[in-house]
Amino acid sequence: MKKFNEIFTLVYAYRRQLFLNVFFNLLNAVLSLFTFLAVVPFLRILFERTADAPTKPIDPGAFSGTYYMELVSYELDMFVREHGPVEALLWMCGLIVTLSLLKNLVLYFSLFSLATIRTGVSRDIRKRLYDKVLRLPMAYYSDERKGDIMSKMTNDLMEIEFSVIGTLEVLFKAPIMLICYLGMLFLLSWKLTLFALLFLPVSGYLVSRVAKSLKNAARRGKGRLGELMSVIEETLTGMRIIKAFNGEPAFRKKFDAHNEGYFSLMVRLYKREYLSSPVSEFTGILVVTVLLYFGGTLVLENKGGLTGEFLIGYLVVFSQVIPPAKAFTDAIFKINKGGASIERINTILDADESIMDKPDAKAINGFSREIEFRDVRFSYKEEEVIHGISFTIRKGETVALVGPSGGGKSTLANLLARYYDVSQGQILVDGIDLREYKLADVRHLMGIVTQDSILFNDSVRNNIALGIENPDQAGIQDAARIANAEEFIVDLPGGYDFNVGDGGNKLSGGQKQRLSIARAIFRNPPILILDEATSALDTRSEKLVQEAITSLMKSRTSLVIAHRLSTIQHADRIVVIVEGRIAEMGSHQELMEKNGVYRSLVDMQTFN
């Protein structure tokens, strides 16, 4: 129930439209009621013509449905007697047309008032999801499949829009219609209505049994769809490798297995969903048939004050109880089906935001002395991967992290950028723990260039000025020039307005990397984190990028992770990381003289 309360909390923000919807639904119910009851005067006009003067019923002095039915019959008989049956019939036709016109106008207004609620709530949930995705720590994306997250944000959200929000019309219309119709049915014949209500618990039980199984099947189906989306996402991302290693048969087999599993689940899901309509319809017809027999005996035996035309009117009104009751039943099915999507979306909305500001977080605009890693330890899924590392980066220094792959170099860079928080120990800036500062301020201090050049499907200009509103064009051009990027940008169609494509796929690897460096230069950060920024480039591109990096590092504090050791020989200090520990530390010359791990790594690359 908590999950649905969250949806209706969002609906409350549109309470004005909701009030209008309820008001128009109430008018629609009343007008519909009188439209359907118009069958009674028709029958009276056609079949109850007598020469005898009608007798006005006596007011019993208390509320009586029978008295009001007899009074309506009397007034109608008097009208027919005075104006004739043909004129009376004409008046009734005009009244029905007028009522129908008003009823449909009111119906339009009720639906129109609901449109803002439906689309607005969907928009609000989508915004909450996207904001949450931006706030979640990187650790969340290490554990979750990207395809499953995309499935939750698209297919599950669409399911909520159609299954849950789409039922708002029913939830705020059907109860009003049912109350009005049942009130009139009690007025026409309370005995017959009480008899009809005996069947509701039976139909309710049948509906609830099918609805429960539907929700469970829907939950499993959404999970299967997420797995299927992950396979598709992996295939599109790794298409080059799949083709290079003739992996098509293996991936086709993997996809077919997930596709067939999803197919089987959805067949069972729709089998249950489509069962709801026949069950509710058969139950409704069964009740009408029983009422026809029971009410007919009341008319034939002249019991309860029910006449033939009012029995027909009663059955017409009761038949109109079935559509809103059936719609309400269908809404329950849809809500149960959408409940599985709500649960899946809430796995994102309720995810722990472990990387966030403290209530009393301090502002930081720069630093004056040093960055210190003090006995830093970090665990991933209860396995410690960084074991008590300590070193200091003084302002203006360049410190390089080297060592075998998987040793923890990138993890240390991620900890400095607060993509993750240390498990034990501290990272201090000017003697204050990084976690004491505002997260946005910490990130603003840093410019990050990684091995994988992340560009977005936007213009060159917007990729360089990422996150900055109304950027200075001269500053963008200066950053591109320093990064050795302007030489290819001016040759692009449209220059700085050129769209780089999805992930920058319209550019070469070296061009993408130089744009990433230009982005860091434009930010003008005091701290640089360079994570193997040249390892994936050819010789010419590496030379251009290395020149850009050298320009970028001037007068800045830099933490450099290097695979090619020739690029960091001039670092102030080199820290050799092996299996999450510092193996040795010093300048290039000092480490070469030690003849240890660093020397062996240099010799190996020199030999190669």
Kindly write down the DSSP assignment for every residue of 112-126, as one continuous string: HHHHHHHHHHHHHHH
Between 418 and 285, the more confident residue is 418
Give dist(CA 512, CA 518) in Å, integer.
10
Please report the DSSP string for 309-356 in residue order: HHHHHHHHHHHHHHHHHHHHHHHHHHHHHHHHHHHHHHHHHTS---S-
> Which of the four pLDDT bands, split at 50, 70 and 90, describes residue 519?
confident
Tell me whether residue 434 is in a domain.
Answer: no
pLDDT above 60: residue 53: no
How much is the pLDDT for 16? Answer: 86
pLDDT above 80: residue 306: no
Most confident of 201-215, 385-399, 505-519: 385-399
Which tokens in the block code for residue 94? 């005009």
How much is the pLDDT for 205? Answer: 60
The domain that holds 140 is classified in CATH as 1.20.1560.10
Tell me whether residue 285 is in a domain.
Answer: yes
pLDDT above 60: residue 267: yes
- Segment 241-269 mean pLDDT: 77
pLDDT above 70: residue 191: yes
Between 226 and 28, the more confident residue is 28
User: How many alpha carbons lie under 13 Å from residue 372 in its C-beta half-sphere?
Assistant: 13
Q: Residue length, the chain?
A: 608
% of the chain surpassing 70 pLDDT: 75
How much is the pLDDT for 365? Answer: 84
How much is the pLDDT for 535? Answer: 57
Between 255 and 436, the more confident residue is 436
Q: How many CB atoms lie within 10 A of CB 256?
A: 11
How much is the pLDDT for 466? Answer: 85
Tell me whether residue 277 is in a domain.
Answer: yes
How much is the pLDDT for 416? Answer: 93
How much is the pLDDT for 390? Answer: 94
* H or E stretch at 577: strand 573-578
Between 372 and 540, the more confident residue is 372
Q: What is the dihedral of CA 125, 126, 127, 129, to 10 degrees?
A: 80
Between 29 and 34, the more confident residue is 29
Between 305 and 368, the more confident residue is 368
Q: Using one digit for the tens of pLDDT, what is the confidence trace for 553-594?
A: 777 898 998 877 877 888 899 999 999 999 999 999 999 999
Question: Any idea which residue has 């701290």 for tokens?
Answer: 527
Q: Using one digit for the tens of pLDDT, what is the confidence trace for 219-232?
A: 666 667 767 777 77
> Which of the four pLDDT bands, split at 50, 70 and 90, describes residue 516?
confident
How much is the pLDDT for 378? Answer: 94
CB-based burial, 275-308: b 16+ in 10 Å, e otherwise: bbeebbeebbeebbeebeeebeebbeeeebbbbe
Tell me whether residue 252 is in a domain.
Answer: yes
pLDDT above 80: residue 371: yes
Give every CB contact of residue 596 below 8 A, 6+ residues apart in sequence: 576, 583, 584
Between 224 and 71, the more confident residue is 224
Give dist(CA 292, CA 315) in Å, integer.
7
Give dist(CA 387, CA 424) in Å, integer.
9
- Segment 195-220 mean pLDDT: 62
Between 373 and 514, the more confident residue is 373
Ordered strands of the 432-433 beta sheet: 383-394, 370-380, 424-429, 432-433
CB-based burial, 11-49: b 16+ in 10 Å, e otherwise: beebeebbebbbebbbbbbbbbbebbbbbbbbbbbeebe
**Of 196, 222, 333, nearest in space to 278 by CA:** 333
Give dist(CA 352, CA 301) in Å, integer.
70
Q: Using one digit for the tens of pLDDT, what is the confidence trace for 39-48?
A: 666 666 655 5
> Which of the four pLDDT bands, split at 50, 70 and 90, describes residue 180?
confident
Q: What is the dihedral of CA 552, 556, 558, 563, to 10 degrees?
A: 30
How much is the pLDDT for 574? Answer: 93
How much is the pLDDT for 577? Answer: 93
How much is the pLDDT for 184? Answer: 77
Give dist(CA 357, CA 177) in Å, integer.
51
How much is the pLDDT for 132? Answer: 87
Between 412 and 450, the more confident residue is 412
In this structure, of 169-183, 291-305, 406-420, 546-560, the range with the lowest mean pLDDT score is 291-305
> Which of the four pLDDT bands, split at 50, 70 and 90, describes residue 353?
confident
Domains contained in the chain, number:
1
> Which of the four pLDDT bands, split at 50, 70 and 90, describes residue 511?
confident
How much is the pLDDT for 316? Answer: 72
% of the chain surpassing 90 pLDDT: 14
> Which of the four pLDDT bands, split at 50, 70 and 90, describes residue 210?
low
How much is the pLDDT for 266? Answer: 76
How much is the pLDDT for 385? Answer: 92
Between 301 and 3, the more confident residue is 301
Please compute Rg for the chain using Cα positions. Answer: 37
Most confident of 174-178, 278-282, 335-339: 174-178
Q: How many CB atoms lie within 10 A of CB 337?
A: 25
Which tokens in the block code for residue 35? 């439209």
Tell me whether residue 599 is in a domain.
Answer: no
**Which structural domain, as residue segments, surrounds residue 149?**
2-349
> Which of the four pLDDT bands, split at 50, 70 and 90, describes residue 395?
very high
Tell me whether residue 125 is in a domain.
Answer: yes
